[in-house]
Amino acid sequence: MNFQYSKIILLAAFLFFHTSHAQDAIDAPVKKPTTPLFADQNILPLKMSFSLKKLRKLTNDSTYMPSKIWYAEAPDEWKELDLQVRVRGNFRKNNCYFTPIKFKIKKKQAKGTVFEGEKLLKLVVPCLKESVKNDNVIKELMAYKIYELISPYHFKTRMVDIEFEDVKTKRSVVHNIKGFLIEDDKSVAKRHGGKVSKRPIPPLGYDPNECVRNAMFQFMIGNTDWSATYQHNMKLMFVDKRFILVPYDFDMAGLVNSSYAVVSQVRGNQLPIDDVKQRLFVGYQRDDAIFHANKEMYLAKRQEIFEALKPFEAYFENKRSYKAAIDYLHEFYDVLNNEKRFERDIIARAKKHKQ
């Protein structure tokens, strides 16, 4: 081990412990507790009934249509909630049978319910009517749960069992599907005493530790469908005088390995891989010590992450799909445990890449 490398390791260790304690300090003065909806992590049964065709035709990013959902906090005790719904996501709107949905809930309707404190919610559902549709949703949810353990700046989620009636003119069709709810970005920012920002920020303007942590997570799950430069599949927060990116939308990741997933070409940027299961680090260059500090953090979190994912196996219809996802994550740790591969696949790649 040469002298320069020894210095990096010592600095990495210092940064790891320093940022860990600093992160605890940041987490301590939480301005807003987790809302009831996300404080409870039991699966929430939902019923929905509307026309997908009408949803696509009448709604867009700013236009909602009135609807209802029914939910059960206890077995067979269904409650009704009036809300508004709209379609979201251009790709899925044009390519999927089921479309991702956004809920808008009035304060007076949510008051006294499990949805109290929620104004806007995203609902993630399967894309296609295929045998692996529900397993793919669960794998994407697992990605959110991993990041929840990795960074305090994350989206809260909750799994739902959905009985969805697609209303048609002649005969309606009922689908039983898995899904999950995602909190609004303003809720994330408010929880940390910050604000959502729409400012264009150069990549080096983001908090360096969170930026590397985020990019390594994307490498972990095999996701290239994101960009710090263009804030693609990222929400920007301004917290404690720092700009922090919070990632979302992981259905194109190798971890999920959906049938429609493709390697990202954000702004026409052609990447040197052709399969989403191939990992490619697309993060921005930072000080090597920050990479090493985050590597140690990921290694320290390894057992906690896999233990947190174990309960999800019970929800998979195909147990081999769960095993494949877990094996894929173990391959990430193979990279971290091999210094040459870590230097080559992450640090060296970051030095070459201009995001």
Encode the chain (355 residues) as per-residue pLDDT tens digits. 444 444 444 444 444 444 444 444 334 444 567 899 999 999 999 999 999 999 999 999 999 999 999 999 999 899 999 999 999 987 888 889 999 999 999 999 999 999 999 999 999 999 999 999 999 999 999 999 999 999 999 999 999 999 999 999 889 999 999 999 999 999 999 999 999 999 999 988 999 999 999 999 999 999 999 999 999 999 999 999 999 999 999 999 999 999 999 999 876 778 999 999 999 999 999 999 999 999 999 999 999 999 999 999 999 999 999 999 999 999 999 999 999 999 999 999 997 655 5
Would you say the pTM of this structure is higher than 0.85? yes
| Of 272, 276, 260, 149, nearest in space to 222 by CA | 276
pLDDT at residue 268, rounded to an integer:
73
Q: Do 252 and 225 contact (CB within 8 A), yes or no? A: yes
Q: Do 206 and 48 contact (CB within 8 A), yes or no? A: no
pLDDT at residue 260, rounded to an integer:
94
| Of 122, 106, 110, 140, nearest in space to 188 by CA | 122
Q: HEC string of the chain?
A: CCHHHHHHHHHHHHHHHHHHHHHHHHHCCCCCCCCHHHHCCCCEEEEEEECHHHHHHHCCCCCCEEEEEEEECCCCCEEEEEEEEEECCHHHHHHCCCCCEEEECCHHHHCCCCCCCCCEEEEECCCCCCCCHHHHHHHHHHHHHHHHHHCCCCCCEEEEEEEEEECCCCCCEEEEEEEEEEECHHHHHHHCCCEEECCCCCHHHCCHHHHHHHHHHHHHHCCCCCECCCCECEEEEEECCEEEEEECCCCCCCCCCCCCCCCCCHHHCCCCCCCCCCCCCCCCCCCHHHHHHHHHHHHHHHHHHHHHHHHHHHHCCCHHHHHHHHHHHHHHHHHHCCHHHHHHHHHHHHHHCCC
Distance (Å, whole) CA 34 – CA 2: 47
> Domain coordinates of the chain in residue numbers?
3-30+194-352, 36-124+154-188
pLDDT at residue 92, rounded to an integer:
81
pLDDT at residue 33, rounded to an integer:
76
Tokens of 14: 């210092």
Tokens of 165: 């009636």
pLDDT at residue 31, rounded to an integer:
53
Cα dihedral: 61, 258, 125, 210 (round 10):
-70
Question: 196 - beta bridge partners?
Answer: 237
Residue tagged 């230097």 (tokens): 343
152 backbone φψ class: left, alpha, beta (φ>0; ψ -120 to 50): alpha
